[in-house]
Amino acid sequence: MSQVEFVNITIDGTTVQVPAGEMVIESARRVGIEIPHFCYHPRLTMEAGANCRMCLVEVSMPRKNPDGTLALARMPKPQTSCSLPAAEGMVIETETPMIVEARKGMLEFLLINHPLDCPICDRGGECPLQNNTMHYGAATTRFVEEKRHPPKAYPLSKYVIFDRERCIHCARCTRFASDISGDAQLDFLKRGADMEVSSFRDTEFTSLYSGNVIEVCPVGALLSRPYRFTARPWDLSTQKSICTECSNGCNIKLDHRAGKLLRVNARLNEEVNEEWTCDQGKFGMDYASHEKRLRRPLIRDGAVFREVSWDEALTHVATALSEAGPAAAFLGGARSSNEDLFVLRRLFQEVLGSQNMDHRLGPAYPSAADVRAALGSQSPTPIAAYERMTTIIVFGCDLAVELPILYLRVRKAAVRRGAKVIECQPSSYRERPHANKVTDFAHSSIWYEPGQETAIAEALAHVMTGGRDPGASDGASDAAASLPNAVAEANVEFGSAIPRLDDGPIAIIIGRDVWSRSLSVPATLKAAADKMGTPCVINTYACSVNEQGARELGILPDGSVQASAPGLNADQILHGLKDGTVKALWVSGVDIASQFHDPELVTQSLEQAPFVVVTALDLNRTATMADVVLPLASVAEYDGTYTSMERRVQRFHQAFDAGVDVREEWRIAANVGMRLGVDMPYASWRDIFGAIATSERAFAECTPDNLGDGGRLLADRNNEDSR
């Protein structure tokens, strides 16, 4: 790392050392001075920035007198502190009469076309424009002419409403679209008096990250369609939580009122999501307050369900499970918390003596033993570590859909840190209907047809292990010329030459579609990586919210060291239900009838199963075929932890009471266990988390109190004995 040079600058009388070149607006934050601003945003580039002119400060610089002494020379006009790099001896004043006057004037300009309809604006109460006007603005305006009146509620996308009247043209949303999500679908049109932000020809803003523009907008111009007119900010309560829509583990805030989840905003975590969310997470969590939520336990009574007490339902489940004993089985759990999974595992292993547990729903998943054999015990690459990678290979993965926040980090690594991204994708990827594709920033794109994955992996391995002319200085020689015959025969289209790969750390992301079918791709690349001199990690990331937790806690037929013999996997369990070898099934939190790779098999198995208990939020297809349905608490209604795909254990907090008679899954499992005579004395998530830390080596350094707001990475697997 290069040496950072520091300079001394004085801000309102306080002298502080800051890195040379840091923008003065940031330096002021270091001494506790917040300079009002609208367009400045630390994560957006300054291209098209410094346009709101709100952050003006007075600047003096030391200048040499003829006799050699130094004197301060004040710049004649105020400067924008968001674009003013700190320099040695600089003296900044933020509250002079000139600045007070300038801010008043700027706000008067910004409000010329702003409708000032704060009373009916969603943003009122949490609006930088409103706050700054109250604090720094003049009491009235001298502008008496007609304001502009563009359309008020223009539907920009499925999730975003655009109120053009309120826009102050700060370019934050356009810069988000071009700098961060990269789809660049927003820009200024008709520059001049009629300037407006728009998408191309008013087409739909199809970014998978469109919701972020609502959060970066410093006025009430970009609004959330689901949240619009549902609450005032001062009536909302906020709770820290974790997004459950994928395995990235984005830190979020749940805004709720009167027991109802109203909106999701990002919560800052530099290691994970920075301050972004994807639309899936921001707008997909409405299930927590869905009308169709289950309210009571249900027991099948002929063709219909009957609402029963928890006691009756739990006794019924306990009886059925104890009769099944080792012939009981468990499916799902990738959406349950670590605590849920730990107690469920105890119930099945210790109480029932069954290892028939599987959280995976795809076809022909490799066994845990095969995965360990092929990939060793490498820890996955953490999200933030991508910024340090020289090369990133994305293999058969629609990253923006499968792992949306990792997509933003990989893009940042490529665009801002100069990482070379190589993608090997099925040719159908080009036709995917969204705007956030790796192709836009990839160094090279290699397209293949289904079935050619192994050949492509072999070709990559060939290049990785030096199967090219080492004399080629920039490594841009035609790789196709030296590829093995398999690839030439596969008639693979190489988009462009593969760069040299041995000049720094490499992270390889393999899509679920590829690794869940066959380990040949990860195994081939792993073998090549082991021969390389540079560090190279093969990542087969988990995709569901706590799928990694299910891996860590061994919700797998052969995943547990305690089990003497492996149990049945998902396919075997479902077949076992048909032929009678599996006598009871617990389905946890997942609608397997819709999500299993073979829904037909699920329907047949559930119809013939002697006993099925389903835990669910609502009466999904699987639940309609169950004997007992137990209503679950949603993530907003209880406390616990998830393990994200980078093995980060993170806390989610209860936001509100469910208002209906639902329970956490760990409590349900413990209740059943106690009815079967095994003591599971857990009163809260803390008790269980403590037990996990005691029994699970990976969690050994975790305690309920050391997770913090940002979570904690599990102990590096390389330091463990083989699990």
Partner 1 sequence: MTHDRTDPAYARRFSPDAVRELEELVARYPQRKAAMLPALWIAQREYGGEITAEAMEEVAHRLGVPPVEVEGVASFYTMYNLKKRGRKHIEVCACLTCAVLDSASVIHALEQRLGIKAGETTADGEYSLSEAECLNWCEAGTVVQVGHRYYGNVTAEDVDRLLDDIAGDPRNDVVTHADTVVRVQLRGGCKGRPRPSAEVEADRG
Residue 184 interacting with partner 1 (CB under 8 A): yes
Q: Does 354 bind partner 1 (CB under 8 A)?
A: no
Q: How far is the CB of 287 from partner 1 (least distance, A)?
A: 34
- Rounded to the nearest whole angstrom, what is the least distance from the CB of residue 334 to partner 1 in the complex? 35
Name the residue nearer to partner 1 (CB basis): 178 or 544: 178
Tokens of 464: 């990785």
Q: Quote the tokens at residue 52.
A: 């709101």
CB of 173 to partner 1, least distance (A): 12
Is the Cβ of residue 136 or residue 441 nearer to partner 1 in the bound state? 441
Tokens read off for 668 = 């349900």
In whole angstroms, what is the distance from residue 392 CA to residue 443 CA? 10
Q: Of 24-32, 146-154, 198-206, 484-492, which part binds partner 1 (CB under 8 A)?
A: 198-206
Confirm if 616 and 631 have CB atoms less than 8 A apart.
Answer: yes
CB nearer to partner 1: pick between 91 and 216: 216
Judged by CB, which is closer to partner 1: 439, or 477?
439
Distance CA 224, CA 158 (A): 9
Instruction: For the CB of residue 183, give the shortest distance to partner 1 in the complex, in Å.
Output: 8
Give the nearest distance from C-beta 169 to partner 1 in angstroms.
12
By beta-carbon proximity to partner 1, the closer residue of 48 and 107 is 48
Among the listed residues 132, 198, 338, 641, the single contact to partner 1 using CB under 8 A: 198
Number of residues that bind partner 1 (CB under 8 A): 20
616-619 contact pairs (CB < 8 A, 24+): 616/294, 616/589, 616/591, 617/287, 617/290, 617/293, 617/294, 617/589, 618/287, 618/290, 618/292, 618/293, 618/294, 619/292, 619/294, 619/298
CB of 433: closest distance to partner 1 in angstroms?
16
Among residues 199 and 269, whose Cβ is nearest to partner 1? 199
Q: Are 393 and 507 in contact (CB under 8 A)?
A: yes
Residue with tokens 């002298």: 15
In whole angstroms, the minimum distance from the beta carbon of 12 to partner 1 comes to: 39
The least distance separating partner 1 from the CB of residue 447, rounded to whole angstroms, comes to 11
Q: Which is nearer to partner 1, 77 or 416 (CB)?
A: 416
Q: Is 188 in the site for partner 1 (CB under 8 A)?
A: yes
Contact 264, 285 (CB under 8 A): yes
Minimum gap (Å) between residue 481 Cβ and partner 1? 21
Q: Which two tokens stand for residue 588?
A: 């946890």
Residues 429-448 that bind partner 1 (CB under 8 A): 439-442, 445
CA pair distance 679, 343, nearest whole angstrom: 11
Binding to partner 1 by CB under 8 A, coded x per residue (else -) over 199-218, reads xxx-----------------
Contact status: 417 vs partner 1 (CB under 8 A)? no
**Is 198 or 560 the residue whose CB approaches partner 1 more closely?**
198
> Rounded CA gap, 213 and 704, in Å?
35
Q: How many CB atoms lie within 10 A of CB 501?
A: 24
298: β partners: 307, 629
Evaluate whether 73 touches 43 at the Cβ level (below 8 Å): no
Please list, in sequence order, all residues whose beta carbon lies within 8 angstroms of the beta carbon of residue 79, skipping any fewer than 6 positions away.
56, 57, 58, 59
- Smaller CB distance to partner 1: residue 192 or 677? 192
Q: What is the torsion angle, in degrees rounded to the nearest 10, for the CA atoms of residue 156, residue 160, residue 161 and residue 162?
A: -60
Residues 159-178 that bind partner 1 (CB under 8 A): 178
Chosen residue from 31, 118, 138, 189 binding partner 1 by CB under 8 A: 189
Nearer to partner 1, 86 or 442 (CB): 442
Stretch that binds partner 1, among 107-115, 192-200, 615-623, 668-676 (CB under 8 A): 192-200
Q: Distance from CA of residue 49 to its chain's centroid?
A: 27
Choice between 173 and 344, CB closer to partner 1: 173
Contact 83, 49 (CB under 8 A): yes
Binding of residue 185 to partner 1 (CB under 8 A): yes
687 binds partner 1 (CB under 8 A): no
Rounded to a whole number of angstroms, the minimum distance from the CB of residue 187 to partner 1 is 4
Q: Is 271 in the site for partner 1 (CB under 8 A)?
A: no
Scanning residues 614 to 633, which ones bind partner 1 (CB under 8 A)? none
Note whether 6 binds partner 1 by CB under 8 A. Answer: no
Nearest distance in Å: CB 201, partner 1: 5
Beta carbon nearer to partner 1, 178 or 247: 178
Of 193-201, 316-324, 544-552, 639-647: span binding partner 1 (CB under 8 A): 193-201
Q: Which is nearer to partner 1, 28 or 180 (CB)?
A: 180
- For the chain, state the CA radius of gyration: 29
Asked whether position 150 contacts partner 1 by CB under 8 A, the answer is: no
Count CB-CB contacts under 10 A for residue 668: 28
Asked if 187 touches partner 1 (CB under 8 A), the answer is yes
| Beta pairing, strands 444-448 & 328-332 | unpaired
> Least Å distance between CB 189 and partner 1?
5
Q: Any idea what the Cα angle at residue 462 is, between residues 461 and 467, rounded to 5°?
A: 145
Under the binding rule (CB under 8 A), the answer on residue 192 touching partner 1 is yes
Q: Is 59 in the site for partner 1 (CB under 8 A)?
A: no
Q: State in angstroms the smallest separation of the CB of 414 from partner 1.
A: 11
Do the Cβ atoms of 277 and 254 come closer than 8 Å? no
Question: Could you give the 3-state DSSP secondary structure of residue 507?
Answer: strand
To partner 1, the closest distance from the beta carbon of 480 in angstroms equals 17
DSSP 10-44: EETTEEEEEETT-BHHHHHHHTT-----SS--TTS
Of 187 and 571, the one with the shorter C-beta distance to partner 1 is 187
**Least distance (Å) from partner 1 to the CB of residue 228?**
25
With DSSP H G I counted as helix, E B as strand and the rest as coil, what are the percentages for the chain, rounded to 5? 35, 20, 45
394 closest CA partner among 486, 481, 506, 485: 506
Looking at the Cβ atoms of 74 and 430, the one nearer to partner 1 is 430
Using CB under 8 A, pick the residue from 190, 474, 681, 683 that binds partner 1: 190
The CB-of-217 to partner 1 minimum distance in angstroms stands at 18
- Torsion angle of the four alpha carbons 215, 221, 224, 230, in this order, in degrees rounded to the nearest 10: 110
CA atoms within 13 A on the CB side of 6: 6
Hey, is 240 helix, strand or coil? strand
* Integer Cα distance of 153 and 228 in angstroms: 11
Residues that bind partner 1 (CB under 8 A): 178, 183-192, 198-201, 439-442, 445
